[in-house]
Amino acid sequence: MKAVLAFLIGRPLVAILIAALVVGVLLLNTRRQTTPVTHRVEHVQLTDAQQSKLGAQEYAKTLRQSRAAIISSGPQYAEVQRVAGRIEAVASRDKPDFVWRVSLIRKNEANAYCLPGGKIVVYTGILPLTRNDAGLATVLGHEVAHATAEHVAERIERNHLTGVAATIIAGGVAFTPGQFLRIQALLGIGSSLPFSRSQESEADHIGLVYMARAGYDPRQALTFWERMQRAMRGQEPPEFLSDHPSDAHRVDRIRGWLPEAERAYRKVAA
Ligand SMILES: [Zn+2]
């Protein structure tokens, strides 16, 4: 083994070739998955069941930590259940094995997210921004799209492949995907891995079609994002937007997907 390592360190080009080969073999072992709505082919290793397990663990932890702040009655609770229920019904056509749940937590933070596998958390602090059912459907459509498009699993996969390649090039020992996942879980990377800009854009696209399929007018999404842009002018962005980089082109892109979403909306309304 030592001789092999010495050989690799001495010949970086060979190491890079071997790394490319190993990454190629690992890619063969990944699952080809096609994203809903955008039909993009991605490679992920985690199965739906593994994603559900990871998400459920994180969800249970969050609920334990915020037990005293969980809201389980009243108009805000009813709104979150009503809107999430309709978005979930649409998303479960793409991910029938996910187990959908939503919790509303009293917290003065403008945020909402959907964990891998379909567990949704909404903070009361986002409700003044979403204002109405369609606004909330815009946010939840986007968040749920991250889950059905398996964006976390995709990030983990990319980091894993890069990690393996870097390790081999550095002359270290490549670890198995299982070991890598455990290391990531220990570091808490899985849940805090930021989404890429292209994933954010894809979640906007899928989310827009989801809200339309759920019977909400997709034009309301434009109203919501334009309101968010105005709210951000010259101020600290709300938590939700600092997690989701916003740019001037975002509203334009959403406008471009509108005809597709409106066709879906008309189908539901008919
Ligand atoms: Zn997002």
Q: What is the pLDDT of residue 188?
A: 47
Position with higher pLDDT, 106 vs 240: 106
> Could you tell me the distance, in angstroms and rounded to a whole number, from the CA of residue 244 to the centre of ligand 1?
5
Q: How far is the CA of 143 from the centre of ligand 1 (A)?
A: 6
pTM of the model: 0.81
For the ranges 90-104, 161-175, 176-190, 225-239, the one whose mean pLDDT is highest: 90-104
Whether the pLDDT of residue 16 is over 80: the answer is no
Identify the residue with better confidence: 104 or 194: 104
Task: Note the pLDDT of residue 265.
Answer: 96
Instruction: Give me the mean pLDDT over the 206-231 stretch.
Output: 93
Q: Identify residues whose C-beta is under 5 A from ligand 1, the ion.
A: 200, 203, 244
How many angstroms is it from 142 CA to the middle of ligand 1?
6
**Ligand 1 centroid to 129 CA: how many Å?**
16
When mean pLDDT is compared over 170-179, 194-203, 239-248, the highest value belongs to 194-203
pLDDT for res 190: 42
pLDDT at 194: 75
More confident residue, 201 or 45: 201
Distance 240 CA to ligand 1 centre (A): 8
Distance 241 CA to ligand 1 centre (A): 9
What is the mean predicted confidence (pLDDT) over 134-163?
A: 87
pLDDT at 245 over 90: no
Q: Which of 34-48, 153-167, 180-194, 231-245 has the highest mean pLDDT?
A: 34-48
Residue 111 CA to ligand 1 centre (angstroms): 11
Average pLDDT, the chain: 83
Task: Write down the residue that tokens 């092999």 correspond to.
Answer: 4
CA of 144 to the centre of ligand 1 (A): 9
Per-residue pLDDT band for 243 (boundaries 50, 70, 90) equals low
pLDDT score for 18: 63
Residue 189: pLDDT band (50, 70, 90) is: very low
Higher pLDDT, residue 27 or 215: 215
Confidence of residue 59 (pLDDT cuts 50, 70, 90): very high
Residues known to be catalytic:
143
